[in-house]
Amino acid sequence: MPVALCMTIGVTLYSTAYQHRIDTTVQLAREAHEAGLRSAWFGQTFSYDSPSLAAIVGREVPGLHVGTAAIPVFGRHPLLVSSQAQTAQAATGGRYHLGLALGTKNLTETGFGIPYERPIARLREFLTALRQLVETGSADFHGELLTATTPLPAAVPGAEPPVPILVAAMAPQALRVSGELADGILPLLAGPRALAEHIVPAVTAAAQSAGRPAPRIVAFVPGVVTADAEAVRETATEKLAFYEQFPSYQRVIGLSGGTRAADLAVIGDEETVAAEVRRYREAGATEVVFTATDLGGEADRRRTWKLLGELANS
């Protein structure tokens, strides 16, 4: 039997959402909600706009929390992101969660044609302006890299409570800024060891120093419940290798005790996966979101969602 857990558990829909029409994505979200899962998350690529997709899904599937994980701050402006996030919050009745990220140098400079310079300073200024906007509906921010002022009202009626702001932060400087200015973090490929020994203490200390509440730790975990763990792990090794080219992921994989991204994938039967979810909780995760649940095919994906729904409601 799955171990009892008192925490929020969700899934990502990126691997399927960008391959299907919106109606199909909505149906998948309904399936996740019916399985007992609490949240569905969408990445931001160059195709669908993730806050818009989250707003549609959240409105079509009442009770399901929806989030973006995560929108790069380069190539965006706090005024526009605030409008998107507040609109999604109003559309879903307060069930939207905004995830931000620094993004990568290659995608920023290739896709947007802008230099990837002073990322931590940009993140700090972006969060400072954005928090003013979502909490007060106005801003008067003049930084070195960004200016955000509101000669007209910027509040969206019904966008309550203020949109939670989360950051895909794992490195020390990003964790410090996130603890001071955001509501939590969205670590990916950070195993229980990295969370307990490095990530959770750093972001929690930053929040305490800033007089903010304890941050949410929303751990994103590749995982599949399957009877053929060896084959699924081979697929995971191939599919997750993309992350190994980035120093930030190389670092956190190493801190987690792994050498490849697939080493952080949770793959096995129900008891194995449930035990690993418990380890994430014990390491400080307040929420666990499973990603790449389709690595073993549709049958394993449904089996995985069934287990996670049971854990979420046990």
In which domain, by residue range, is 116 found? 8-313
235 occurs within a structural domain: yes
290 occurs within a structural domain: yes
Q: What phi, psi does 259 have (nearest 5°)?
A: -120, -30
CB contact at 8 A, 163 and 98: yes
pLDDT, tens digit, 9 for 90 and up, residues 154-176:
999 999 999 999 999 999 999 99
Is residue 3 very low, low, confident or very high in pLDDT (cuts 50, 70, 90)? very low
pLDDT, tens digit, 9 for 90 and up, residues 90-127:
999 999 999 999 998 888 989 989 999 999 999 999 99
Of 162, 74, 165, 79, which Cα lies nearest the Cα of 120?
74
Amino acid identity at 84: Q
281 occurs within a structural domain: yes
1 occurs within a structural domain: no
What pLDDT is recorded for position 102? Answer: 96
DSSP secondary structure letters along 25-68: HHHHHHHHHHTT--EEEE---SSS-HHHHHHHHHHHSTT-EEEE
3 occurs within a structural domain: no
The CATH number for 113's domain is 3.20.20.30
Q: How many domains does the chain have?
A: 1
203 occurs within a structural domain: yes
**Checking DSSP bridges between strand 184-185 and strand 165-167, what pairing results, if any?**
parallel
Overall average pLDDT of the 15-20 stretch: 59
103 occurs within a structural domain: yes
- Strand segments, DSSP code E, in the chain are 8-12, 39-42, 65-68, 71-72, 96-101, 140-142, 147-149, 165-167, 184-185, 216-225, 266-268, 287-291
Separation CA 130–CA 100 (nearest Å): 11
Residue 20 has pLDDT above 80, yes or no: no
109 occurs within a structural domain: yes
**Cβ contacts of residue 128 below 8 Å, gap of 6+?**
141, 143, 181
Q: Map residue 128 onto helix, strand or coil.
A: helix
